Chain A
Amino acid sequence: MLIEQSAYTNRWRRVSPAAKGLFTAGAFIAVFAANSPLTAAIIASLVVALTVFGAGIAPSCYLRVATPALFFLALGSLSLAFSLDIGDGTPALKLTSGGLLKLAEVGTRSLGSLAALLFLVLTTPLIDLIALLRRLKVPALLLEIMVLCYRMLFVFSAAVHETLTAQSARLGYATPRLVIRSLGGLAANLTLQVWQRAHALHLAALARNNDGPLRFLEPSFAHSRRDCRIAGLAGAGLIVLAVSWA
């Protein structure tokens, strides 16, 4: 929910999502086109700096969102750098030849991609991203599923929370035996709710004259064209930096 929060409150909320998407794409290309780990690292830090200082995402929030990804990244990179050597009987960890270089290359690229992705999701609410995908002509069915899932996510997390509270209030989780019983009840209750909600939503759609595809208004953003131009230039700048840095 941290991501949600910053997506709605950051300084660049009103900037066109197309522009943010464009810049993200530019950053991705730049990171992969980078000819040395150093360049990739510089690009990654530029994107991070832009997210923190430009869009005004609090550094603490940024770190908390990035930590799990960084952890997996570290784990993955280490396994790349070292290999298990069981040549002379006793297994030993050995630094592979060229392993360090590979580590630096893959590591910085991953960091750069992570930074680019975080830039997008921390500055753009999912509802804007979905609208952007719709404009990019992603199949309507896929988007409808996304919209409904996203909406239902909140409806159900509320339902789960309420049921859990109600069960706890009547000591439903007091002993391990009761825990299993209550969890079963929770699952049964949710199944019923899913079914009822689906039916209710269907009725609500019919009542508003729906006859098939779900259609929604695209949000409009002031200065969309100007924003895209700036974002395009910034993205291109990163790519140029990536390929020309010696």
Chain B
Amino acid sequence: MNDALLELCQISYRYPDGSVGLDACSIAIQRGSRNVLIGANGSGKTTLFQHTNGLLRPQTGVVRYAGMAVDYSRAGLRALRSQVGMVFQNPDHQLFSASVQEDVSFGPLNLGLDMATVRQRVAAALQAVGMTEHADKAVHNLSFGQKKRVCIAGVLAMQPTLLILDEPMAGLDHAMQQELLAVLDQLHAAGITLLMATHDIDFAYRWAERIHLMAAGRCTASLNATDLGEHAEALAAVGLPLPQVITLHRALVERGILPANPPPRCTASLLTMLAEAKITQETTC
């Protein structure tokens, strides 16, 4: 627990109209890990995210970044926001400028970097999300998936330590989701800590190292993805089923078709296991 990059302790937040955003919510994100925040619509994911880079200030509780309580002064917020990058759910809410390149340059210029460095960072960020050839395009001529990537590039260009993505898969088709995941894998390999909101348990199980469950403004459990299978009750408590691949694998184990270990994390590896099991059966008889 000592290596927590970001820690929220007992955060409560009530919106001005009285609706509860967060209710004594605690969560810890380990440095370099892949995290998923999973919960129904309205469970408080977006509200929690807005606390991670100081857009909202907790009414009770503390936010700690790298072991230090967040300082809400101008300079403190500046430091926090240059470390914690946030990609919003709706790209049209995030993209300011009419041109791709200009928009990506917005964050680094706010950091006070010089033009040469900014140019270099913009190019690198666009390259990382595979949008180099669209650098001079107008934002409104891009597809939804491309806009999303520009949003990510705009945050990457600030070189954050922790990247937060609010429902990044929403609205993307299958191919675009795969491309986005490839981008995220690269970022993770480069040492960036990732935290993403979703409500797809199968995806969370496949992708994340750690899964945080949200319900009614509270983080009810933080689980290692590897032992998710043992926490069916915790999942049921927030209205989620076990990932399908776990259920399927268990049924196959029960019939003696597959070994219990190692448990597959996605359908593809389950299929591979099946293919292998068949071969061993054939060779034994």
Residues on A facing B (Cβ under 8 Å): 4, 8, 125-127, 130-131, 147-148, 150-151, 154-155, 158, 197, 200-201, 203-211, 214-220
Contact = CB atoms under 8 A, between A and B. Distances in A.
B101 A201 contact: no
B159 to A, nearest CB: 12
Contacts of A210: 106, 110
Contact of B110 (A150, A203, A209, A218): A209
The interface size bin for chain B is 35 or more
B96 A8 contact: no
B98 A150 contact: yes
B171 to A, nearest CB: 14
Nearest to B104: A217
Which one of B88, B93, B111, B119 has the greatest number of beta carbons of chain A within 10 Å? B93
A128 B170 CA distance: 32
Contact of A219 (B88, B92, B99, B110): B99
B132 to A, nearest CB: 14
A215 B105 CA distance: 8
Contacts of B129: none
Interface of B: 50, 53, 55, 74, 78, 81-82, 85-86, 88, 90, 92-99, 101-107, 109-111, 115, 118-119, 122, 136-141, 154-155, 158
Given A8-B138, A219-B136, A151 B97 contact: yes
Nearest to B56: A203
Given A205-B96, A209-B81, A216-B109, A151 B139 contact: yes
5 contacts: A204-B94, A209-B82, A216-B106, A217-B105, A219-B101
B122 A214 contact: no
Contacts of A220: 119
A215 B113 CA distance: 11
Per DSSP, are chain A's interface residues mostly helix, strand or loop, or mixed?
helix
A148 B102 CA distance: 13
A200 B88 contact: yes
Which one of B78, B99, B118 has the greatest number of beta carbons of chain A within 10 Å? B99
A215 B109 contact: yes
Given A8-B138, A216-B102, A219-B101, A204 B96 contact: yes
Contact of B158 (A197, A203, A208): A208
B81 A151 contact: no
B93 A127 contact: no
A155 B60 CA distance: 37
A142 to B, nearest CB: 15
B98 A201 contact: no
A244 B95 CA distance: 51
Nearest to B100: A127
Contact of A201 (B93, B99, B154): B93
Top 7 A-B pairs, shortest CB-CB distance: A217-B105, A154-B140, A200-B93, A216-B102, A215-B109, A208-B107, A127-B99
Given A208-B81, A209-B81, A219-B136, A203 B50 contact: yes
Contacts of B106: 205, 208, 210, 214-216
Given A8-B141, A200-B90, A209-B110, A151 B98 contact: yes
Nearest to A205: B96
B94 to A, nearest CB: 4
B78 A209 contact: yes
Contacts of B97: 127, 147, 151, 214, 216
